[in-house]
Amino acid sequence: MKHTLSTIAVALTAIVGITAVVKTTASPSEPISVIKPAVITEPEKVELGKMLYFEPRLSISGFISCNSCHNLSLGGVDALPTSIGHEWQQGPINSPTVLNADFMLAQFWDGRAKDLKEQAAGPIANPMEMGYTHELAVDTVASMPAYVARFKDVYGTDEVNIDRITDAIATFEKTLVTPNSPFDQYLEGDKKAISEDAKAGYALFKDRGCVSCHNGPAVGGTMYMKMGLVKPFHTDNPSVGRKAVTGRDSDKFVFKVPTLRNIELTYPYFHDGSVWTMEEAVNTMSDIQLGRLFNEQETAQVVEFMKTLTGEQPQIVLPILPPSNANTPRPVPFK
236 lies in the binding site for a copy of itself (CB under 8 A): no
Stretch that binds a copy of itself, among 7-15, 216-224, 242-250, 323-331 (CB under 8 A): 323-331
Which of 72, 154 has the CB closer to a copy of itself? Answer: 72
Binding mask 268-297 for a copy of itself (x = CB under 8 A): --------xx--------------------
Which of 192, 335 has the CB closer to a copy of itself? Answer: 335
Length of the chain: 335
Provide, rounded to whole angstroms, the least separation between the CB of residue 280 and a copy of itself.
10
Provide, rounded to whole angstroms, the least separation between the CB of residue 322 and a copy of itself.
9
Parallel, antiparallel or unpaired: strands 254-256 and 34-40? unpaired
Q: How far is CA 267 from CA 21, 45, 79, 96, 174, in A?
A: 28, 31, 6, 10, 22
Stretch that binds a copy of itself, among 41-49, 167-175, 199-207, 264-272 (CB under 8 A): 264-272
Binding mask 71-90 for a copy of itself (x = CB under 8 A): xxxxx--xxxx--x--xx-x
Q: How far is CA 287 from CA 246, 280, 301, in A?
A: 27, 10, 16
327 lies in the binding site for a copy of itself (CB under 8 A): no
| Annotation marks residue 129 as catalytic | yes
Q: How far is CA 79 from CA 37, 43, 162, in A?
A: 25, 29, 28
Provide, rounded to whole angstroms, the least separation between the CB of residue 314 and a copy of itself.
8
Which of 207, 236 has the CB closer to a copy of itself? Answer: 236
Alpha helices in 26-133 (DSSP H): 43-53, 66-69, 116-125
Which of 41, 313 has the CB closer to a copy of itself? Answer: 313
Which of 60, 125 has the CB closer to a copy of itself? Answer: 60
Q: Are 165 and 52 in contact (CB under 8 A)?
A: yes
Within 293-322, the residues that bind a copy of itself by CB under 8 A are 313, 315-321
Which of 74, 288 has the CB closer to a copy of itself? Answer: 74
Provide, rounded to whole angstroms, the least separation between the CB of residue 320 and a copy of itself.
5
- Please identify which of the residues 129, 173, 298, 304 carries the catalytic annotation: 129
235 lies in the binding site for a copy of itself (CB under 8 A): no
Residue 102 to residue 97: CA distance in whole angstroms: 11
Q: Of 128, 178, 137, 184, whose CA–CA distance to 160 is shortest?
A: 137
SS3 call for 275: strand
- Cis preceding-peptide flag for 268 (omega within 30 of 0): yes
Residue 125 to residue 138: CA distance in whole angstroms: 12
Considering only 24, 33, 68, 301, the residue that binds a copy of itself (CB under 8 A) is 68
Can you spell out the DSSP letters for 189-245?
T-TTSS-HHHHHHHHHHHHTTGGGTS-TTTTS-S-EEESSSSSPPP-S----BTHHH
326 lies in the binding site for a copy of itself (CB under 8 A): yes
Question: Annotated catalytic sites, by residue?
Answer: 129
Chain positions contacting a copy of itself, by CB under 8 A: 54, 56-57, 61-63, 68, 71-75, 78-81, 84, 87-88, 90, 264-265, 267, 276-277, 313, 315-321, 323-326, 330-331, 333-334
